[in-house]
Copies of this chain bind each other. A is one copy, B any other.
Amino acid sequence: MIQKTMDLSSGKVKIKIGNKIISEEPIFFAGPCSVEDIDTMRKIAKELKALGVDVLRGGAYKPRTSPYDFQGLKGEGLEILRTIKKEFQMIISTEILDVRDIEKVMDVVDIIQIGSRNMYNYVLLEEAGKSGKPIILKRGFSATVNEWLGAAEYIMNVGNEQVILCERGIRTFETTTRNTLDLNSVAYLKKYSRLPVFVDPSHGTGVRDLVKPMALSGVMAGADGLLIETHVEPEEASSDSQQTIDMKTLGEIMKKTNEIWRLR
């Protein structure tokens, strides 16, 4: 059933992020959970750029369990990302929720994120795929590896091979941590699929103190990149504050990742 994602005879899919090729060196996506106001975003972007982060990520459209919770800055958030992109010359990734938004984001967003809640939204997958942009496809929090590959297949089937899988934790009986980061799936996919695999230790743990060890653990399981919620003042983040790390910790993770990268 899973044809394009697992046909190893076609070779591993190669995706470029700026001047880097995924899997040849570690790739870092970082930034706040939600896009913050322009001043805060400038501070964040400046520091991420200084650290050598590859992609600035932040949510303009936020899917939330309750309609009464903060839903992101939406269009305004998109304009902030546009400004940051221009001022800092950074590669931008953000999540889209609505097929009707794709056109709007085309000139701002370089890498489209499909979030965990929308992994089974095949209409959105196909339309995002048709944009021709690289897609970072988060695993549904209760999706099997097979279903996740099926979702990737929907994107590849409309002619877009640039799919990055991102493990972000699955829902289990355990509640000590927000999710259970399934690094088995990373090792499995690196061996048996053609696609690059990233790890998101922020959602994967939900606990700030566990982000660093689990980021490095993810790298050792085979991850090609990391997606980490980072803020200049984590306690002030407008969402997911408890799992957001500061710039210093991000710098340590990047340094350690480079040290262990060749030892895998």
B-contacting residues of A (Cβ < 8 Å)?
A: 1-3, 63-69, 97-100, 117-118, 120-123, 141-142, 144-147, 150, 153-154, 157, 170-177, 180-185, 187-188, 190-191, 204-205, 207, 209-210, 213-214, 216-222, 256, 259-260, 263-264
Contacts and interface: CB of A to CB of B under 8 A. Distances in A.
A187 B173 contact: no
Given A213-B221, A219-B220, 5 more contacts: A65-B150, A117-B120, A146-B176, A183-B217, A184-B210
A144 B214 contact: no
A181 B182 CA distance: 7
A220 B210 contact: no
Chain B CB within 10 Å, residue with most, of A99, A117, A184, A187: A184
A138 to B, nearest CB: 12
Contact of A205 (B123, B187, B259): B187
Contact of A145 (B63, B97, B174, B187): B174
- Counting every copy of the chain, the complex holds 4
Contacts of A180: 170, 172, 180, 182, 184
A123 B64 CA distance: 11
Contacts of A216: 220-221, 264
A264 to B, nearest CB: 7
Contacts of A220: 213, 216-217, 219-220, 260
A210 B182 contact: no
B221 A65 contact: no
Given A67-B154, A205-B184, A122 B97 contact: yes
A177 B173 contact: no
15 contacts: A63-B122, A65-B150, A97-B122, A98-B123, A100-B100, A117-B120, A117-B121, A118-B121, A144-B176, A170-B174, A174-B182, A176-B184, A177-B184, A180-B182, A216-B264
Nearest to A183: B217
Contact of A173 (B67, B173, B190, B219): B173
Given A144-B176, A184-B204, A153 B66 contact: yes
Contacts of A174: 144-145, 170, 182, 184-185
